[in-house]
């Protein structure tokens, strides 16, 4: 049996020493004195040729550890024809390992992906970006801190289900001044909110999947390493998308119109404008600036709204409304803000900044609570009123196509989407006048003989 070396003999060597490894053909450990210390090699003899592989500096391990390390290396090397072949394979393995480590280091967290998704929405001018960012912060980023810092690729469908489960069961978030004490339930929109959150997460993961493959992105940008979309496997929330199939009666609508008159001045002006403009989408009204009020040279004063709704790649659409005489009267408190020069547009609550959609919606949500408590109406929101306005317009004889023009509903069909560029301002003027007279009658506003005559002419033309 070959004699084993000892530590003291190795540290004291002047040139070289060797020690055979256990087993036939396993080679031997070679210790060689250099200026930098004692270097360790694995020495093998195969096909009458001596080869050796540098293993490291002796001070890096104990003698026992070097024996075990050399034996393992010997076993690996003997799978290759030569040590050079082994070294090439080892270099390639290390290159791939380093590449994988670099990719792993660049892979983004769930929080990074969600924020990047909303940033991309903002770059594309999506009107819902702010609402999406708020929902993700409220229901994902803040309550699930640990999950948010995990790699996006590590998120499982069960994690998404837990997020939605919490959204359905958490207490309703405080909003504005005071605290809402309403318990969470399907009736106050929790199912709808949870299903919207599911769609936001599904879209965010789809963004992450596409982002990795986008050739326009920098090669060293954050990668997400996603293989699947975990939100896609989570079913939709049953009962979340029940249509708003009811509308206020004429007597209920009358109660709303009268109740608006009792609001504080600025809220009253905005609420009246929302009603007399026939229920336009609040987000569009909040974007109106002074530049959007102008004389188009053919139809007189108009208000330009920008409709950002639509599928992927749908450009913003211009939606023009004629500023009828009655609308100018209704909006006069708001239009007077232009002289002050502080508010960016007419729909401002304090005369400094434009009202937010949420604040505008809250005006009618509060009225719905107030009037339903008194028993004058059923509980309603602005969404209910939009359905109510369209229903009453239909009852007044405004057909479906004209209502679509007036309320900027989506266009379908090749002709409507790509070729019909008429603004329908004459038709909208007639229908807005008709709607204003209807609301004035509910409010008890006396009609002048001139207005009644114009009304008769409009009906005859129809």
pLDDT higher than threshold 70 for residue 386 = yes
pLDDT at 62 (0 to 100): 93
pLDDT band at 258 (very low <50, low <70, confident <90, very high): very high
Count other C-beta atoms under 10 Å from residue 53's C-beta. 21
One domain, residues 90 and 132: no
Q: DSSP readout, 295-331?
A: E-SSS-EEEEEEE--SSTTPPPEEEEEE--HHHHHHH
Strands in 255-316 per DSSP E: 293-295, 301-307
| Overall average pLDDT of the 435-461 stretch | 66
One domain, residues 340 and 433: yes
One domain, residues 451 and 326: yes
Q: Out of 112-121, 169-178, 403-412, pick the least confident.
A: 169-178
pLDDT band at 395 (very low <50, low <70, confident <90, very high): very high
For residues 92-103, one letter each, b for 16 or more C-beta atoms within 10 angstroms of the residue's C-beta and e for the rest, the string is eeeeeeeeeeee
178, 206, 233 - which closes a domain: 233
One domain, residues 161 and 303: no
One domain, residues 437 and 339: yes
User: What is the Cα–Cα distance from 172 to 139, expressed in whole angstroms?
Assistant: 11
One domain, residues 280 and 377: yes
One domain, residues 263 and 381: yes
User: What is the Cα–Cα distance from 334 to 273, expressed in whole angstroms?
Assistant: 9
CA angle 345, 358, 343 (to 5 degrees): 20
pLDDT at 436 (0 to 100): 96
User: What is the Cα–Cα distance from 370 to 382, expressed in whole angstroms?
Assistant: 14
Work out the widest C-alpha separation in the chain, in whole angstroms.
126
| Overall average pLDDT of the 243-260 stretch | 89
One domain, residues 455 and 337: yes
pLDDT higher than threshold 90 for residue 50 = no
User: What is the Cα–Cα distance from 255 to 273, expressed in whole angstroms?
Assistant: 17
Of the chain, the percentage scoring pLDDT greater than 70 comes to 83
- How many residues appear in the chain? 462
One domain, residues 347 and 448: yes
pLDDT at 85 (0 to 100): 85
Most confident range, picked from 60-69, 106-115, 126-135, 242-251: 60-69
203, 233, 263 - which closes a domain: 233
pLDDT higher than threshold 70 for residue 337 = yes
Task: Say which residue, 172 or 57, is predicted with more confidence.
Answer: 57
> Does a structural domain hold residue 131?
yes
One domain, residues 191 and 326: no
| Residue span of the structural domain in which 140 resides | 110-233
Three-state secondary-structure class, residue 324: coil
Task: Say which residue, 280 or 452, is predicted with more confidence.
Answer: 280
Contact in structure between 368 and 397 (CB atoms under 8 Å): no
- Domains contained in the chain, number: 3
Instruction: Encode pLDDT of 52-92 as tens digits.
Output: 889 999 999 999 999 999 999 988 888 888 888 888 888 88
> Does a structural domain hold residue 241?
no
Contact in structure between 275 and 439 (CB atoms under 8 Å): yes
User: What is the Cα–Cα distance from 169 to 190, expressed in whole angstroms?
Assistant: 8
Instruction: Encode pLDDT of 136-151 as tens digits.
Output: 999 999 999 999 999 9
C-alpha dist (Å) from residue 221 to 106, 213, 217, 420: 7, 11, 7, 43
One domain, residues 256 and 365: yes
> Does a structural domain hold residue 433?
yes
233, 266, 294 - which closes a domain: 233
Would you state the structure tokens that stand for residue 446, as one six-digit string?
């006396």
- Record the pTM: 0.57
User: What is the Cα–Cα distance from 45 to 53, expressed in whole angstroms?
Assistant: 12
Contact in structure between 25 and 78 (CB atoms under 8 Å): yes
Backbone angles phi, psi at 229, to 5 degrees: -105, 105
> Does a structural domain hold residue 242?
no
Residue 222 sits in a domain whose CATH number is 1.10.150
One domain, residues 164 and 209: yes
Bridge partners (DSSP) of residue 294 are 302
pLDDT at 308 (0 to 100): 78
Task: Say which residue, 210 or 341, is predicted with more confidence.
Answer: 210
Three-state secondary-structure class, residue 446: coil
> Does a structural domain hold residue 244?
no
Instruction: Encode pLDDT of 268-315 as tens digits.
Output: 999 999 999 999 999 999 999 999 999 988 889 999 998 876 555 566
> Does a structural domain hold residue 56?
yes
User: What is the Cα–Cα distance from 296 to 49, expressed in whole angstroms?
Assistant: 94
pLDDT band at 453 (very low <50, low <70, confident <90, very high): very low
User: What is the pLDDT of the chain when averaged over all its residues?
Assistant: 84
pLDDT higher than threshold 90 for residue 459 = no
As a whole number of Å, the end-to-end CA separation of the chain is 115
> Does a structural domain hold residue 272?
yes
pLDDT band at 100 (very low <50, low <70, confident <90, very high): low
Residue 336 sits in a domain whose CATH number is 1.10.443.10
pLDDT higher than threshold 60 for residue 181 = no
CA angle 244, 425, 386 (to 5 degrees): 15
pLDDT at 333 (0 to 100): 94
User: What is the Cα–Cα distance from 102 to 104, expressed in whole angstroms?
Assistant: 5
Of the chain, the percentage scoring pLDDT greater than 90 comes to 56
pLDDT higher than threshold 50 for residue 348 = yes
């Amino acid at each position: 049996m070959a004699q084993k070396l000892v530590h003291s003999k190795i540290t004291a060597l002047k040139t070289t020493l060797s020690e055979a490894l256990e087993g036939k053909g396993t080679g031997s450990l070679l210790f060689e004195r250099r200026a930098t210390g004692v270097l360790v090699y694995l020495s093998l003899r195969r096909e009458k040729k001596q080869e050796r592989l540098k293993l490291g500096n002796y001070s890096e391990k104990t003698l026992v550890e070097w024996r075990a390390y050399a034996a393992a290396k010997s076993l690996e090397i003997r799978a290759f024809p030569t040590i050079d072949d082994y070294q090439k394979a080892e270099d390639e393995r290390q290159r791939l390992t380093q590449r994988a480590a670099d990719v792993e280091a660049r892979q983004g967290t769930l929080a990074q992906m969600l924020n990047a998704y909303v940033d991309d929405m903002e770059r594309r001018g999506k009107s819902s970006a702010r609402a999406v960012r708020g929902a993700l912060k409220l229901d994902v980023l803040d309550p699930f801190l640990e999950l948010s810092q995990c790699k996006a690729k590590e998120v499982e469908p069960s994690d998404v289900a837990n997020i939605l489960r919490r959204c359905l069961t958490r207490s309703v978030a405080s909003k504005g001044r005071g605290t809402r004490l309403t318990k969470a339930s399907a009736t106050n929109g929790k199912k709808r909110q949870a299903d919207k959150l599911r769609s936001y997460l599904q879209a965010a993961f789809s963004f992450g999947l596409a982002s990795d493959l986008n050739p326009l992105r920098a090669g060293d940008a954050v990668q997400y390493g996603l293989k699947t979309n975990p939100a896609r496997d989570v079913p939709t929330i049953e009962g979340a998308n029940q249509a708003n199939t009811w509308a206020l009666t004429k007597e209920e609508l009358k109660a709303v119109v009268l109740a608006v008159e009792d609001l504080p001045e600025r809220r009253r002006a905005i609420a009246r404008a929302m009603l007399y403009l026939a229920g336009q989408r609040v987000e569009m009204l909040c974007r109106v600036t002074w530049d959007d009020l102008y004389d188009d040279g053919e139809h007189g004063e108009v208000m330009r709204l920008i409709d950002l709704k639509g599928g992927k790649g749908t450009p913003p659409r211009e939606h023009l409304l004629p500023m009828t005489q009655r609308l100018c009267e209704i909006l006069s408190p708001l239009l007077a803000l232009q002289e002050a020069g502080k508010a960016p547009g007419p729909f401002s609550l304090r005369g400094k900044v434009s009202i937010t959609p949420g604040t505008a919606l809250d005006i009618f949500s509060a009225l719905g609570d107030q009037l339903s408590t008194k028993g004058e109406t059923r509980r309603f929101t602005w969404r209910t009123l939009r359905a109510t306005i369209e229903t009453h317009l239909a009852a007044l004889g405004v057909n479906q196509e004209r209502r679509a023009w007036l309320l900027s509903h989506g266009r379908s069909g090749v002709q409507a989407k790509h070729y019909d560029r008429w603004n329908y301002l004459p038709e909208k003027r007639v229908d807005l006048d008709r709607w204003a007279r209807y609301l004035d009658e509910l409010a008890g506003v006396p009609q002048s003989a001139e207005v009644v005559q114009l009304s008769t002419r409009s009906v005859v033309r129809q």
